Structure 1
Amino acid sequence: MSFRVALISLHTSPLAGPGSGDAGGMNVYLVGLAEALAQAGTEVELITRDAGEGATDARTPGGVLVRFLRAGPRAPVPKGELPAQTPEFARSLAQLPRFDVVHSHYWLSGLAGLEAARAWRAPHILSLHTVAALKNERLAPGDRPEPAERLSGERMLVRASARTVTATDAERLAVLDAAGPDLDDGRVVVVAPGVDPSLFHPREPAAPDPYLLVLARIQPLKGIELAIEAVSALPCHRRPRLIVAGGTSPGHDDYAAALRALAERSAARVEFLPAQSRSATAGLLAGAALLLVPSRSETFGLVALEAAASGTPVVAAASGGLVEAVADRLSGVLMSDRDPVRWAAAIDRLLADPARLAALGASAAEHASRHTWASTAAQLRRVYRHAVGESLPE
Structure 2
Amino acid sequence: MSRIEVVAPNLKVRLSGVTSTIIQLVPVQARSLGIATLGPGLPEGLPKMRWWQVPSLLARPATRRMRIWHARRNVEMVAGLLLRWLFRAPMRLVFTSAAQRDHQAFTKWLIRRMDAVIATSARSGSYLDVPHDVVMHGVDLDLFHPPRGREDGFGAAGLSGRFAVGCFGRIRKSKGTDLFVDAMIELLPRFPDWTAVIAGRATPEHLEFAQSLKARIAKAGLSDRIVFLGEVPDIRPWFRRMSLYVAPSRNEGFGLTPLEAMASMTPVVASDAGAYAEMVVPGETGAVVASGDGPGLTAAIERYLADPGLAEAHGRQALAHVRRHFPLSREAEGVAKVYDRLWSAR
TM-score, with structure 1 as normaliser: 0.75
Q: Give matches, 1:156-235, under 5 Å.
A: 156-176=109-129, 183=130, 185=131, 188-203=132-147, 205-207=153-155, 209-234=162-187
5+ residue gaps, structure 2: 62-66, 156-160
Q: Is the CA contact 1:46–1:66 (under 8 Å) kept in the aligned structure 2?
A: yes
The residue number in structure 2 matching 1:37 is: 29
% of aligned pairs identical? 24
Contact 2:249 2:291 (C-alpha < 8 Å) held by counterparts? no
CA 1:219–1:338: 2 relative to 1, 3 Å = closer
Letter in 2 for 1:383: V
Runs of 4+ in 1 over 6 A off after TM superposition: none
Report the 3-state secondary structure (helix = DSSP H, G, I; strand = E; otherwise coil) of the residue aligned with 2:82: helix
Query: Do residues 253 (structure 1) and 168 (structure 2) align?
Result: no
Aligned to 2:230: 274
Which residue identity does 1:66 align to in structure 2?
Answer: K
What residue in structure 2 maps to residue 152 of structure 1? 105
| Whole-Å separation in 2 of the counterparts to 1:289 and 1:276 | 19
Q: Which residue of 2 aligns with 1:47?
A: 38
* Residue of structure 2 in register with 1:10 after alignment: 11
**For each residue in 1:62-114, what CA deviation from the matched residue of structure 2 results, as whole angstroms up to 9, or x when unmatched?**
xx323464xxxxxxxxxxxxxxxxxxxxxx78524356000012222222233
2:44 to 59, 67, 75: 59
Secondary structure of the residue aligned to 1:97 is helix
- What is the match of residue 133 of structure 1? 102
Residue 265 to residue 66, structure 1, CA distance change in 2 (3 Å): farther
1:209-358 correspondence to structure 2 within 5 Å = 209-234=162-187, 236-239=189-192, 240-249=194-203, 251-266=205-220, 268=222, 269-277=225-233, 280-336=234-290, 338-358=292-312
Aligned CA-pair RMSD? 2.5
Change in Cα spacing, 1:252 to 1:235, as seen in structure 2 (3 Å) is closer
Structure 1 residue 286, shift from structure 2 partner: 0.7
> C-alpha distance in 2, partners of 1:161/1:250?
36
Q: CA, structure 1 residues 274+96, in 2 after alignment: closer, same or farther (shift >3 Å)?
A: farther
Give deviations 1:200-247, integer Å, cap 9, x for gaps: 111152416322111111232111100000111115131522211111
Q: Counterpart of 1:25?
A: 17
Asked if structure 2 preserves the Cα contact closer than 8 Å seen for 1:131 and 1:175, the reply is no
- Cα distance in 1, alignment partners of residues 145 and 259 from structure 2: 11
CA distance in 2, matches of 1:254, 1:164: 39
Runs of 5+ consecutive residues of structure 1 not aligned to the other structure? 13-21, 70-91, 135-150, 177-182
Look up the match of 1:19: none
Structure 1, residues 300-320: CA drift from partner, whole Å, max 9, x if none? 221100100101011111223
> 1-side partners of 2:6 and 2:108: how far apart?
24
Contact 2:249 2:292 in 1 (8 A): no
Letter in 2 for 1:65: P
Equivalent residue runs for 1:64-83 within 5 Å: 64-67=46-49, 69=51
Q: Distance in 1 between matches of 2:270 and 2:333?
A: 29
> Given the superposition, is the C-alpha separation of residues 58 and 223 from structure 1 closer, same or farther in structure 2, using an over 3 Å criterion?
closer
Alpha-carbon spacing, 1:358–1:58, altered in 2? closer, same or farther (3 Å): closer
Contact 1:292 1:316 (8 Å CA) reproduced: yes
Q: Is the 8 A contact 1:126 1:161 kept in 2?
A: yes
